[in-house]
C-alpha cells in the first residue's frame, strides 16, 4: 500500500493535487475539511460543532476529528492506499494516525509538503473565496488566522514524520501539471 500525507498550509494546493493523484494511483482521498463540510451540509450535530471552529479559522478539537477520520478509514479497508489531506494537523492526530495504520499492519509511506509563501497563500484563498462559498475563505482576517494556526499547531507534524525520515518538501508554486509531476516523481521513487 501507498499511504501518503499531502501536507502544507491552507491554500497550498493539496485538494487540487489530491484529486489528480487519486486518478493516477487509485488511492482513497480522505480530506477532513471535505468530511466536515459534508456534515455541515447535512446539519448534523458533528457538522454544527465543527462549523463553530471552522468559521473562526480554528482547528476542530482532536477528539472529534480523530473519531471521524477513524470511521472513514475503517469503512474503507480494502483500498490500494490512502491520501490524507488536511490530516494530521496536530501531534496527537499524528500519533492517532500512526496507531490506526499500525492496527492495519500499515504505515505512512511519505509526508509531502507543498511549499508556498504566505502572501501567495492569502492571494489564492481570497481568489478562491470569490467562488467557493466557504465562509473561511471570505474574510482576510480568518485566512490569516488559519495560516497562523498552521504555523503554531500544524507545522510540528512535518518534524514528527521527519524523525522517521519520511518528510519531504516540494515547491508548491508553478503550474498545476508542473507541481503534479514533482509529486509523481516522489511517489514513483517510493
Ligand atoms: P484549508 O486547508 O484550505 O484551510 P480544509 O478544508 O483542509 O482547508 O480545512 C478547513 C477547516 O476545517 C480548517 O480550518 C479546520 O477548522 C477544519 N479542519 C480540517 N481538518 C482538520 C483537522 N485535521 N483537525 C482540525 N480541524 C480540521
pLDDT digits (tens, 9 = 90+) for 60-102: 999 999 999 999 999 999 999 999 999 999 999 999 999 999 9
- Region 28-41 average pLDDT: 98
Centre of ligand 1 to C-alpha 38, Å, is 13
Distance, CA 47 to ligand 1 centroid (Å)? Answer: 13
How many CB atoms neighbour CB 107 within 10 A? 13
**pLDDT-derived band of residue 19, with 50, 70 and 90 as boundaries?**
very high
Question: Which residue's CA is minimally distant from atom 16 of ligand 1?
Answer: 54
What residues pair up with 115 in beta bridges, in sequence order? 171
168, β-bridge pairs: 112
Probe target for ligand 1 pocket from 60, 63, 127, 129, with the most ligand atoms within 8 Å of CB: 60
- 3-class SS at 166? coil
Alpha carbons 103 and 155: distance in angstroms, whole number: 26
Grid cell in block for residue 64: 472529534
What pTM was estimated for this model as a whole? 0.97
Centroid of ligand 1 to alpha carbon of 37 (angstroms)? 10
Amino acid at each position: 500500500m501507498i499511504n501518503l500525507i499531502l501536507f502544507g498550509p491552507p491554500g497550498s494546493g493539496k485538494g487540487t493535487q489530491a484529486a489528480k493523484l487519486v486518478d493516477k494511483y487509485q488511492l482513497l482521498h480522505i480530506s477532513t475539511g471535505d468530511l466536515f463540510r459534508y456534515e455541515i451540509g447535512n446539519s448534523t450535530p458533528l457538522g454544527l460543532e465543527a462549523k463553530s471552529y471552522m468559521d473562526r479559522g480554528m482547528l476542530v478539537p482532536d477528539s472529534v476529528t480523530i473519531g471521524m477520520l477513524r470511521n472513514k478509514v475503517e469503512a474503507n479497508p480494502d483500498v490500494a492506499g490512502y491520501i490524507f489531506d488536511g490530516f494530521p494537523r496536530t501531534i496527537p492526530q499524528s500519533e492517532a494516525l500512526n496507531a490506526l495504520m499500525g492496527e492495519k499492519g500499515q504505515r505512512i509511506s511519505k509526508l509531502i509538503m507543498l511549499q508556498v509563501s504566505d502572501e501567495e497563500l492569502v492571494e489564492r484563498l481570497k481568489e478562491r473565496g470569490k467562488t467557493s462559498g466557504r465562509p473561511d475563505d471570505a474574510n482576510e482576517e480568518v485566512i490569516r488566522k488559519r495560516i497562523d494556526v498552521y504555523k503554531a499547531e500544524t507545522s510540528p507534524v512535518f518534524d514528527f514524520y521527519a524523525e522517521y525520515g519520511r518528510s519531504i518538501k516540494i515547491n508548491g508554486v508553478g503550474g498545476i501539471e508542473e507541481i503534479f509531476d514533482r509529486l509523481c516523481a516522489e511517489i514513483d521513487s517510493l
